Structures are given as C-alpha cells and as structure tokens.
Chains A and B, each alone.
Chain A
Amino acid sequence: MRILHIGTDSFGGYGGIALYNRDLIAAMASHPSVDEVVVVPRIIVGPCEALPEKVTFVASAARGRLAYLNALRKTRGPFDLVLCAHVNLLPLANLIAKHPLLMLYGIEAWKPLRDPLSNRLLRDVRGVVSISDVTRERFAGWSQYAGPSLLLPNSIRAEWYGIRPRNRGLVSRYGLDGKRVLMTLGRVVAAERYKGFDEVLEVLPDLDDDIVYLVAGGGNDVPRLKQKASGLGIADRVIFTGLFPEEEKTDLYNLADVYVMPSRGEGFGFVFLEALACGVPVIASSIDGGREAVRDGLLGQLVDPTNPAEIRVAIRDALAAGPKRIAEGLEYFSYANFERRTHGIIESSS
C-alpha cells in the first residue's frame, strides 16, 4: 500500500502541526500493509529529524510554489490513499486524487474557506480526519459535510517530559524564587488573542501577591500585554520569556504550579498534554478544543474563558491541590494509542 501525504510542514518544521504530521507520518508508515509513505512538504524551516522507515521525503518541494507543484506533478503514483494534510492544499491534492482524505486541525476549518474552489472540492473528499470534535462540528456546520469523519487527537510522548525540580537558572532568570507560578505557553501575537493571556491578566490582581504569571513565548502582542499589566498594577507579577530554545521547554513547564490557558481558538491544545506530562495541573477552556485535551475535565479543570470568577476559582483550587503528579488518564493520548488510531483510519479509508 502506498500513501501520499500532501501537507504544509512536518519534518524540518516547527510548531504543533509539524509535530502532529511527523507523528502521523510515522504512525502510517508503521502499518504492516503500508509499503511507502511519500511526503511532499510545503515548508521546511530547520534541520530534518530522522525519517521513519518506508518514508520518502520530497524535500525539494519546499523550495517554493512552483517547486511544490512540480514535486506533486512528478510524484509517481498510483497511491492507495492520498492524504491532504491541510484544507488550503485541497486544490493541489485534487490534481493527484479526486477523493483525498482531508485533515482538519483547528481554526483553518472553522469557517468557509476564502477559495471557492476549495469549498466546492470539499464535497468530494473521501473522508475527514479531525484533531478534535469541536473542529469536526464547526467544519460540518458551515460546509454541510456529512461524509465519513474520524477523530485523531494529538499524542504525547510523556517520557520526553516528566516532573523535574525547578531549574535554578530559570528561577533566577525570571525572578521566581518564593513565587507560585501560573503559566501559559504559546505565540503571543495579535492574530491569536484568543489564547487567553488577557483573561489571566485580568484575574491576577484578585489573587495573592505571591502568585505570578509566566508568559512563555514571544510575538508582536507582548508590548500590548505589558501595557495592560501595568494598567492593572501587576507589571511586576507578569514575566514574559520571549522566544525560548526548544530544549528549555520541559524546564519551563516545570516552573509552573498551574498551567492555565482560558482560550477560545484552540483546535486541540497540545500544550495541555505537555504540561500534564510534567505533572502540572491544567486549566483549559470549556468552549474550544482545550476541553478535549483535558478529556472533558478528567485530566484538568474546565473554565468558561468569559467568566473571570471561574478562572479565579479554578486557579485557587489548582494551587490548593496536592503535590504534582502525572494525571491518570494521560495515556489515552500516548503515541501507542495514536498509532493504533491511525492504523484504524488507514484500514477504514483504503
């Protein structure tokens, strides 16, 4: 069996979609019936990770639009399954296969696409695979898509994380000695104000003075949030890390007493799994994909991001909870389960 993966980024990529695609490609390749997975990436930003067996990675496709089209054109079929791993690539996938399987991640699929052709092509997809139920429902809401749809949530390799003592260097760098730390990790950009940074800032003045807020990430919205923190009189209690090296991530999570992200635009919220894998209690949103990342409240607390009182109370409850521990039920998102689900999708779609 041969599979073609037409995606934005995976190996050599950065961020959630790239990570998800790497897992997906590896899981597909491990299926006993799969002979080859051909991956045509649109973007490569860094050095490529080791490729799994049976994966052919067409790196030349990432050189530009024309190169991508050329790479697709030269792809030698036939393929038993064509996976269109981003809705924006549907017209291109259509050049190769009339009935691709479509991947949905989050906000890109929550409202009609700008391109009318893509909207039309949706009718012909073989099925959709969604990272979360909220994305699947929101997609179905506008597209009226009623064909097969499957769920494939993120996976977490918990062994890459773990509960660690606070890194003294980071504690010192961010002035966290003797502080209780709330944390949100993500891009701090104006286009993603739905992350919930504002909502956490707004409740911070009502919390004890030894509670600080660590915003892990950088972006063009940092100046506005700094100004907001000053206006609220909590500038000294909000720490912005700016962009940080990937290798510091686990230590950053381990600085946190509570991971809180009362968001409104998360397709899933992989960061919750990372925080949970570090034993940090998490607070997620009840109205986006965060709900599913914490399994409807099994792994963490759910709050309505529009209700400051709920956020405040959830933070207090989380801080009052016992010592850090890895939440029972996190194995639901283990890579082994992800691989099993992926194999199920291959079997039902081919």
Chain B
Amino acid sequence: MCGIAAIVSYGSAAPTVDRDEIEAITERMWPRGPDAGGTWISPDSRVALGARRLAIIDLTDEGTQPMEDVDGELRIVFNGEIYNHRELRARMERLGARFHSTTDTEVLLQLYRHDGANMVELLRGMFAFAIWDTRTRRMFVARDPYGIKPLYVADDGQTFRAASTVKALLAGGRVPRGRDLAGVAGFWLMGSVPEPHTIFESIRAVEAGTSLFVDARGIHDVRRYYSIAAKLLRGAHDVAAARLVHPPTLLRELVTDSLRHHLISDVPVGAFLSSGIDSSALVALATEANGHPLRTVTLRFEEFLGREADEAPLAERFARELGSDHLTRLVTRDEFTDDLPRLFDAMDQPTIDGTNTWFVSKAAAERGLKVAISGLGGDELFGSYPSFRDLPRIVNASRLPLAAAAVSRLARSPKAGSMGRYGSTWAGAYLLKRGLFLPDDLPSLMGVREAREGLERLAMLEHIGQAIDPDPGTPFGRVAALEASLYMRNQLLRDTDWASMAHSLEVRTPLVDATLLRQIVPLLMVEKQRCKQHFAASPRHPLPAWLARRKKSGFSVPLAEWMQLRPDGTSTRMRSWARMVMERWA
C-alpha cells in the first residue's frame, strides 16, 4: 500500500519535469506510506516517478519504489496488493524470469514484460500502478477492476500527471484548481463525486478496471478491461455449476479462497468487527483459514449506548466465542470535534461518508496494525441493501402509477414527488433511491447557471445507466451492478481509502474481489438474497442465531448528535451534513 505519482512531459512544448513538483506531490502522500519514499527522474528529465511506501510484503529495502526490473528497462510505482503474486511469480519463473526481491511489485514488472497490457486480466488484487518502459518510451497505467485503489490524472495536452490522490496532484503546484461543476453537481446528487469526475476540472479519475498508455502522443489506448455488469451477465449463464454444491459450503470455499489471498502479508493482519453478518462471518472464516484468532476492533459511541445501534456488546460476545484479541474503542464527541480538521484535510474529495472508517482505522492503527480486513462489499454482493428490494418495486410501481403509493419507504421522503419523473427506469430509480438531492434541488445549492451546466455535463442518468451496460439481465444483477459500480466505488471504497490511509492502515476487502465475483455469480443468481444467510452458515461453526438473525443496521456514527443536525420538512440529516462538508472541505 502506497501513494504513487508520475509525470510524463510528452509534448514537444512541455517543460522538463520539475524535481520539486514530483517531490511535493509525493510528500503530500506521506501518511499513505510512512516507511519509505523515493523519486526517480529519467536522464532526459522527461519522466518522473514518486512513491511513498507502507511496507507489507517483503519488508526489506528491496521493496523500495520506484523499482527497476533486473534488466534496468522497466520502472514502476505501485499502490496496492497483488494477492496472487506468488502464483504469478511461479509462472514467470517457469518462463525464465529473474527477480531481485520477493515483492508483488516486481512481479508486475515481469508480467508486463511478458504479457504487456493484457497482464491486468491476470491480477487478483487492488492496485493502481504506472510502469515506465524505457524501450518504447511509453508509460503503462492501470487501475484495479473495482476501483479499490485510487488513481487520478491531469493532462494539459503537454504534460501527463498522475497521483493516488487529488490533493497530491494539487500539491505539485502545476495543476489548476478550478472547480468541475459536473463533479460538484455529482456530489450534491450522490453525496460523493462520481468518477471519472473529480471536484476539480483539470483532474480526472482513471476509471476502475481501466488501463491506458502515455507516450509522445499523450494518453491513448484507453481500455476498459473489466465490467462488473458483464461479469454478472456472463455468470448468469453458468447457474448449473452453482447447483452442484450446497450453497453455504460453496460460499465457504469461495470466500475462504479470497480470504487466504487477502491474508497474505509479512505483517500481522487484523479485522474490523461489527455485529453484522458480513464482518462476523468473515472474521470467523479468517480465523479458520489463519489457524489462530485475529486482532479485532469495534467502535462504540456514547450516544448509542443502550440502543440497537451499539454494536459493541454483540461484537464483544462473538469475539469471545472466536477467541479474538478484541478491542472495543470508545469514540466521543470531543474526539470527533478535535479530529474534524484533520479529517477534512485527509478527505480527498467531498463526501458525506468516511467518518466511521476514520475512527475504526485510527483504532486499528493504535493497536499497532498495518493491515485490517473489512466486510465492506458484502451488502452489494449478497443483495442485502434495501435497494435490492426497493428498486424493482419503484420501477414496477412507476409503470403502474396507482401502485406508486405502495412504495411506502420512498413516499415518506422529500423525493416522493419525483417518483413519476425518474422511477420508470433503472437509472432513474437508482437516483431516486440513492440520491442525496435531486436535480431540481441543485440551483439552490450551487446557483442556477452552475447547476444547469454541471448537470448537463454530468448527465447523471446516462452515467448511472453505464453501470448496467451490458444489462445483467435480472433485477438482482442490475441492482448488484449499480450498487457495486456507483455507491460502493464512489463512496465506500474511496472513503475507505483516504480514511484508512490517513492512519497508515491498509484495509483489505475480501468480499470486493474480482475473482470472487466471477466465481460466485452463478450462486447469486440462483440463491439471490438467501446468500446472506448461507454466508452466516458458511463457517465451520455457523454464526449463532442471535447474530445471524439480527436485523441489519448500517455501520454508522452519531453524526447527527455530534453536529446537532436536525431534519426539517425538506431536508434530511445527511443533506445538512453534506452542506457542512461542502463548506468546510478544502
């Protein structure tokens, strides 16, 4: 896990790279990699690479980045983990490759040398990297299928810049700070900025599951090599295979395989534990796979004491049963208030989420952990969000206007009036369901002209629609693709990245895994929402009923109490929090 940076002065009119700039960009990412850092500038000063390193695999100096291959022809900066690096390394050694370290970073170099851009399809992991190839004077850039690891670029037509964070790119001092109205509009609509937009016009996200090249022609050969919707569609044709095996057993097998890969580390791996099924089953399976209990962390808030939202008592009880080395960490309003300036500084782009991950990562880091696994992604995978039930209802109800009132959950919200306008398509229904504000609200938030321009450029419904192109073919598949490609990617994963990295903690998400998704889709298509209970039953000692049958609750923090947010007739607490974020984020 690291922070990475790259600059390519490719245009004929571009100035050579500036050492101060690459160092400033890299330095801004110090918390992402406090163990080591370095920069490299090509002899002709047209290319620069920078990296901060959080050492997790091969703790020796051999893992320092930027890293050169044994032949001195390729150089890489890499953020993330390649969980199948041992298998890939074995293959490369069979093919005659030589290595000077045991890092996954070096495996990427050898893989690129042998398989070129197609290498990305062989990787299991979370990653964003840039490889400079001195033979062809090209840079190869890629980001993982789900977008777990971030990567942002700024290209002014002469110089290409890339970094792990938006704020790092700005820290170099050469990237304009003009706001992207599409990004701003996206934030108001969804509570996070939808990629590829960022909050700045000159900076774009490299989209999840995408690779590209940069050379004297600039950016080219942008290739979307992974689509969640396509995987859901393909897997739906393989349901026969899913019917062969008892569902909890198959889930146990597939998730344990993912866990075994996610537990690969040269430092101890801990876990976030809530009182939900995902984190509990995951920790139980990880304990089995590891052969010994993990260090686990749960948050507790004074404001939740005695309420169902207090996850600590059940988490403690389950941790005792597993024999985990467990810590319940109390978070108070005072601590939140004290942390708020640092939290906003770490927040890479405006978002209404991330506070929970900020504190649980802080607690894990205080325990001396560098790596923690999280149950993030379970709701998207197993269909346990209300959206899996509500979206099909909204779409169906909107086609039958008299039935609209049946969608009671929506009817109580300020968005009820827009049901007829948006509810008849999957994209519109998703906007209604997940939207923080609706397009009609935006002029009052960002100005009439700005809202019009932002919404026009954002084209939110088309943007949402892309997440289900190709059509996964079933309501379950559509909602799964929408949630994983939008909410999870733009909010959960991005917030987890900045909030954990601020504490130099790597969060691993075994349920957000491209291999797992491909293998599990047939089962999802057969069992749908039942998969959650199958998952609860999947450990050798199935989750106890008091945990497995507990009503689902989100991983929330008492923001409303801390910030004294009050809902009124047209606003919700989260809308109030969003206004506050937009005011204070910088």
Q: Which residues of A contact B (CB under 8 A)?
A: 107, 110-112, 137-138, 141-142, 191, 193-194, 264-265, 287, 297, 304, 306-310, 313, 317
- Interface 9-residue window, one of B242-250, B322-330, B340-348, B553-561: B242-250
Most buried by B among A107, A137, A141: A141
- Measured in the bound complex, the distance between the Cα atoms of B245 and A107 in whole Å is 8
With A264-B238, A313-B122, A317-B94 already in contact, 13 other A-B pairs whose C-beta atoms are closer than 8 Å: A110-B249, A138-B249, A138-B250, A141-B248, A141-B253, A194-B240, A264-B241, A264-B244, A287-B519, A307-B121, A307-B515, A309-B118, A313-B115
Q: Are B252 and A141 in contact (CB under 8 A)?
A: yes
Contact of A138 among B91, B95, B240, B245 (CB under 8 A): B245
- Measured in the bound complex, the distance between the Cα atoms of B122 and A317 in whole Å is 14
Q: Are B244 and A265 in contact (CB under 8 A)?
A: yes
- Measured in the bound complex, the distance between the Cα atoms of B519 and A107 in whole Å is 18
Q: Are B244 and A194 in contact (CB under 8 A)?
A: yes
Q: Are A309 and B519 in contact (CB under 8 A)?
A: no
Given A193-B240, A307-B121, also A317-B245 (CB < 8 A): no
- Measured in the bound complex, the distance between the Cα atoms of B242 and A107 in whole Å is 11
Going nearest first, the 9 A-B pairs with the smallest beta carbon separation are A141-B249, A309-B121, A142-B246, A306-B518, A264-B241, A111-B246, A110-B245, A194-B241, A193-B240
Shortest C-beta distance, B84 to chain A (Å), equals 9
Q: Are B515 and A265 in contact (CB under 8 A)?
A: no
Residues of B within 8 A of A110 (CB): 244-246, 249
Residues of A within 8 A of B121 (CB): 307-310
- Measured in the bound complex, the distance between the Cα atoms of B250 and A111 in whole Å is 10
The count of residues in chain B whose C-beta lies closer than 8 Å to any C-beta of chain A is 24
Query: At the interface, yes or no: B235 with Cβ under 8 Å from chain A?
Result: yes
Q: Are B241 and A142 in contact (CB under 8 A)?
A: no
Q: Are A265 and B249 in contact (CB under 8 A)?
A: no
Q: Are B241 and A265 in contact (CB under 8 A)?
A: yes
Residue of A nearest to B225 (CB): A309
- Measured in the bound complex, the distance between the Cα atoms of B519 and A323 in whole Å is 34
- Measured in the bound complex, the distance between the Cα atoms of B248 and A138 in whole Å is 10
Q: Are B241 and A138 in contact (CB under 8 A)?
A: no
Proximity string of chain B (223-236) to chain A, C-beta cutoff 8 Å, 1 when within and 0 when not: 00000000000010
Residues of A within 8 A of B253 (CB): 137-138, 141, 287
Residues of B within 8 A of A310 (CB): 121-122
Residues of B within 8 A of A194 (CB): 240-241, 244
21 A-B pairs (CB sep. < 8 Å): A107-B244, A111-B244, A111-B246, A138-B246, A138-B250, A141-B248, A142-B248, A142-B249, A191-B240, A193-B241, A194-B241, A264-B238, A265-B244, A287-B253, A304-B518, A304-B519, A309-B118, A309-B121, A309-B122, A313-B115, A313-B118
Q: Is chain B's binding surface mostly helix, strand, loop or mixed?
A: helix
Given A313-B115, A317-B91, also A306-B244 (CB < 8 A): no
Q: Are B246 and A317 in contact (CB under 8 A)?
A: no
Shortest C-beta distance, B58 to chain A (Å), equals 23
- Measured in the bound complex, the distance between the Cα atoms of B537 and A141 in whole Å is 10
- Which residues of chain B from 25 to 55 have any CB-CB distance to chain A below 8 Å in the complex? none
- Measured in the bound complex, the distance between the Cα atoms of B379 and A197 in whole Å is 33
Residues of A within 8 A of B94 (CB): 317
- Measured in the bound complex, the distance between the Cα atoms of B244 and A264 in whole Å is 9
Residues of B within 8 A of A304 (CB): 515, 518-519
Given A306-B518, A306-B519, A309-B118, also A112-B246 (CB < 8 A): yes
- Measured in the bound complex, the distance between the Cα atoms of B115 and A317 in whole Å is 11
- Measured in the bound complex, the distance between the Cα atoms of B245 and A264 in whole Å is 10
Residues of A within 8 A of B519 (CB): 287, 304, 306
Most buried by A among B94, B235, B238, B252: B238
Residues of B within 8 A of A112 (CB): 246
Residues of A within 8 A of B248 (CB): 141-142
Q: Are B245 and A111 in contact (CB under 8 A)?
A: yes
Proximity string of chain B (86-128) to chain A, C-beta cutoff 8 Å, 1 when within and 0 when not: 0000110011000000000000000000010010011000000
Residues of A within 8 A of B257 (CB): 287
Residues of B within 8 A of A306 (CB): 235, 238, 515, 518-519
Shortest C-beta distance, A87 to chain B (Å), equals 14
Residues of B within 8 A of A307 (CB): 121-122, 515, 518
Residue of A nearest to B118 (CB): A309
- Measured in the bound complex, the distance between the Cα atoms of B366 and A167 in whole Å is 69
- Measured in the bound complex, the distance between the Cα atoms of B220 and A121 in whole Å is 64
- Measured in the bound complex, the distance between the Cα atoms of B115 and A306 in whole Å is 19
Shortest C-beta distance, A295 to chain B (Å), equals 14
Residues of A within 8 A of B95 (CB): 317
- Measured in the bound complex, the distance between the Cα atoms of B90 and A193 in whole Å is 31
Residue of B nearest to A141 (CB): B249
Residues of A within 8 A of B90 (CB): 297
- Measured in the bound complex, the distance between the Cα atoms of B95 and A287 in whole Å is 24
- Which residues of chain B from 494 to 542 have any CB-CB distance to chain A below 8 Å in the complex? 515, 518-519
- Measured in the bound complex, the distance between the Cα atoms of B250 and A110 in whole Å is 9
Proximity string of chain B (201-244) to chain A, C-beta cutoff 8 Å, 1 when within and 0 when not: 00000000000000000000000000000000001001011001
- Measured in the bound complex, the distance between the Cα atoms of B121 and A36 in whole Å is 56
- Measured in the bound complex, the distance between the Cα atoms of B91 and A313 in whole Å is 10
